[in-house]
Structure 1
């Protein structure tokens, strides 16, 4: 049984290296992690903490923790943000640290375009001692490997009070890992993200919020996420999501106070790997400084 879990864990590692960047089910609330143009668009300082446990019960499965903060920094709405992501899978840990800046342009009465850039880097650490090595004496597979890779990204975020569309490339620099082991070279490639959503007013107390995320990277299948959320009384959110050929999800959220919101999702795998794990859990907590009338958002925001 341990050997089976090891094989599946390595399979999971291979899949994650193929997708390379962390994935989220609640991407509509976590946009600043993939698009620097989102920084400051909430209209107030916004802090988000997120934890994702993928493929629960499977040894070596991915775990992702994130902290992000962003805020407008001028009366014109230009934004500044910081995102820290810790992504662990098997023996490897990847920590991303990026700062974002967005420049806001008003295109119409209720339409804005934020152009953003992000800069930072990632710290990769691999602990070979966590592996069950066939040849323990292999010097190439012992101890730890550490590597820092710089990063530059860019994005555009077009939005109004009830819709948004964003296009971004979070990492413009391609990075080679394990350069000293030519038999096992991993290359981190550029990822392109297209995100969009709309808010429909179905009644004074009910809103419908569909959203979609498309992720493209050379050498991997196109990633497509679609979701449909219903917002009741601007307090409680309930919905479902589908990740193409990968998972179906249930989503729920609640506004504890005007500035404090919590959300949770559960993913069911639709692949064969679903037979060996008990699903994926993702929870986030978002706090926004909206207590004073001076800092309140001019119009309600639902994304």
Structure 2
């Protein structure tokens, strides 16, 4: 069996070099938009908290695991918002934990359209646990224990939405950071990622809604990444859909509105690349809790986005 070190090198090459997508990947991006667009902050107009866990490429040793927690709240009477987003990514012995606080300023249009400008600021902590690596030289002074490096970052986003559609563009981390550049062999640099998201809600009948959505990701040095999804909501309670990540994976999505303020969702990815021969897919689950008592309209019809 290949040792963990070799597995990590393969994963890092695949995730960071070939695709150059260094930010966390989500199949249910339509539910945690604030993670990559601070302009979304407060747009739900209630206190909203979401917890998400993703385990990718199950069965492959050292495969990525992601935990995400976010909370947002409206601020004042002008539809502004504040929020906090915490993400932890682990790939073998490599772990990156970050926290970003966000603020969005909203301008009300002449109709039901709202324009939100968001900014965020926070930090990342990148660490490597060499105790999880099979080393050729146990006395290597650069590969002992756990080493970590802290770095600040800022992000910005623009989000426009109405009752039946939304579109947003953002970059959650604008600053480029190089880690461990005092040791050339372990240098790792992050790049700015740019996101474009959009979606529309079609009322097919009083009991059925259809929502297509798309998320486009761009980072210098990598092909454009596109996620396309289509979800159906039945009786404002049950959501069922599918998604396609261009040249990468297909996904099955499901969600259930347990109460007006509590929703649970699950996603399963099947890898369409050759990597799919070595794992049994990816699983993603989220739980969202909202204080809906401050918004009577939400008690009648939960928000689809």
TM-score, structure 1 as length reference: 0.96
Residues 212-245 of structure 1: CA distance to partner in whole angstroms, max 9, x if unpaired? Answer: 0000001112111000000000100000000011
The alpha-carbon deviation at position 14 of structure 1 amounts to: 2.2
1:283 is aligned, of 265, 285, 291, to 285
Show the 5 A alignment for 1:292-303.
292=294, 296=298, 300-303=302-305
**Higher alpha-carbon deviation: 89-98 or 11-20:** 11-20
Aligned partner of 2:9 in structure 1 is: 10
Structure 1: distance between partners of 2:231 and 2:5: 37
1:49 is aligned, of 27, 51, 68, to 51
Aligned partner of 1:168 in structure 2 is: 170
Aligned partner of 1:88 in structure 2 is: 90
Structure 2: distance between partners of 1:168 and 1:109: 24
Aligned partner of 1:103 in structure 2 is: 105
Q: Secondary structure at the match of 2:13?
A: helix
Does the CA contact (< 8 Å) of 1:178 and 1:184 recur in 2?
yes
The alpha-carbon deviation at position 108 of structure 1 amounts to: 2.4
Q: What residue ranges of structure 1 are gaps of 5+ in the alignment? A: none
The alpha-carbon deviation at position 297 of structure 1 amounts to: 7.5
1:35 has 2:34 as partner: no
Q: What residue ranges of structure 2 are gaps of 5+ in the alignment? A: none
1:142 has 2:144 as partner: yes
Aligned partner of 1:271 in structure 2 is: 273
Q: Secondary structure at the match of 1:278?
A: coil
Does the CA contact (< 8 Å) of 1:58 and 1:276 recur in 2?
yes
The alpha-carbon deviation at position 181 of structure 1 amounts to: 1.0
TM-score, structure 2 as length reference: 0.95
1:177 has 2:176 as partner: no
Q: Secondary structure at the match of 1:57?
A: coil
Does the CA contact (< 8 Å) of 1:241 and 1:250 recur in 2?
yes
Does the CA contact (< 8 Å) of 1:6 and 1:59 recur in 2?
no
- Give the aligned CA root-mean-square deviation in angstroms: 1.6
1:71 is aligned, of 65, 70, 73, to 73
Residues 189-223 of structure 1: CA distance to partner in whole angstroms, max 9, x if unpaired? Answer: 10000000000111111111000000000111211
1:235 is aligned, of 234, 237, 251, to 237
